[in-house]
Chain A
Amino acid sequence: MSSNKPQAEAALFVAFNALLIRDLHVYFRSRGTWLNPLVFVLMVITLFTLGIGPDPSALSNHASGIIWVVALLGIMLSLDALFRADFDDGSLEQLLLSPQPLYLAVLAKVLAHWFITGLPIVLASPLYSLMLGIPADVIPVLALGLLVGSGILSFIGAIGASLTVSLRSGGLLIALLTLPLYVPAIIFGSQFVQSAIEGWPLMPTFSMLLGLLIGAIVLAPIAIIGGLRLSQDT
């Protein structure tokens, strides 16, 4: 028995890696999945500046809030695709039936989705920070906050995605379910940027963001598994 144990542990991560790589392949082959959220974010930021007016000081005053809300919307709107295709072609059912632990499978799926939607939004953050007139030395802080925060948004949003995957019209319902849960992330996220702009200590808000991320990674898969299981009942 004892000699089998390391092998079993290795097999766990073989399945995790296989699922991660498979999902990344699928996403990369459809350009819309990673490009659309990014284009959406850039467009909405353009609309915000048109709505607020061209005054640079008014824009930079609201920049942290705007960027966080827009990033949140971009990630949230892309979440409907997280389990949808797998649900439609039946591979989700196979995943639920497989002997591998679902916890790791869910982690792999959400991580792959984050690589494709959250990470591009983080990587493009210098671009739209400059559009909104955020000071250049704050941009790394904003990117770091978004890096942690987009993970929180992906994991919490995946709960909404799993609960609505068997419904034909899940999009708006995901928003209704997840937006109240996003409140802590957006508060600490935009506070983090604000602290950098004002020169306040960064660690308190950053540790709160990290704590939220850890909590989301540990707890959200439990709810996601429940949601995915019930999607097979209908």
Chain B
Amino acid sequence: MASWQWFHRLGSPKWLSGTIDRWLPWVLGLGSVLLLVSAIWGLAFTPPDYKQGNSFRIIYIHVPTAIVALAAYYVMAIAGAVSIIWRMKVADMALRAIAPVGAALTFLALVTGAIWGKPTWGAYWIWQDARLTSMLLLFFLYLGIMALHDAYQNSASGNRAAAIMSLVGTVNIPIIYKSVDWWSSLHQPATLKFTEESTIATEMLQPLMLAIPGAYLFFIAAVMMQLRVQIARNEKNTRWMAERAAQ
């Protein structure tokens, strides 16, 4: 089963720790460069929007964080599924590592969305926008999973509970999103729909195409750093960790 070797290797905290050490500078470096270039390009060199003026430029933070925040939940749920099915220690650590990063990104997406809402809609918070409301619910799901983790004295049980909860959330996210969409469209005709994303001009889209992979890389780097802490905490009594610390 040579094809499964990568998967079995992934289960070894020692191998993973070494891999993180090797990859982290590259991921973090490339991610930072992409984010920096796209931010400068987006803030200084793209033309202002004909309707929103300069306020649209927050799109280069808002859209990447929102996309990655949602993707992070699914990555976390996959880690939860792996933890339940194969009982891999590393999957539990990954779940623990992703939750705070995902919650922080969701929070950032909410804050930037509210800041963007003020000049465009005239209010920081508009319930009519289904995406804003479902992001808030996603934030609550993250917080619930983190609270569940912390509530258990026994970390093995806490990991299992969080894994089950993350899978329950996965089933529910599409239902929640659809129902919020239905709810907001029924209360208010879609006059405030954002259409920038689909009708966005190419000059505005190019920096965004850099910012999205940049945000993904930044997310991976942040999870790697969190994961390294989790590994150090869980494996502190092993011999390889003692050897590594002695170096």
Contact = CB atoms under 8 A, between A and B. Distances in A.
Interface of A: 159, 163-164, 166-167, 169, 173, 176-177, 179-181, 183-184, 187-188, 191, 208, 212, 215, 219, 223, 226-227, 230-231, 233-234
Contact of B183 (A187, A230, A231): A187
Contact of B165 (A163, A184, A219, A234): A163
Contacts of B84: 226
A167 B144 contact: no
A166 B157 contact: yes
Contacts of B141: 180
B176 A159 contact: no
B24 interface: no
B151 interface: yes
A226 B183 contact: no
A233 to B, nearest CB: 5
A231 B161 CA distance: 9
B214 to A, nearest CB: 29
Interface residues of B, number: 31
A212 B168 contact: no
Contact of A234 (B140, B144, B154, B164): B154
A204 to B, nearest CB: 9
Nearest to A211: B175
Contact of A219 (B151, B157, B171, B182): B171
The interface centre, meaning the residue of A173, A187, A231 with most chain B CB atoms within 10 A of its CB, is A187
Contacts of B175: 184, 212, 215
A180 B140 contact: yes
A167 B148 CA distance: 10
Contact of B144 (A169, A176, A215, A230): A176
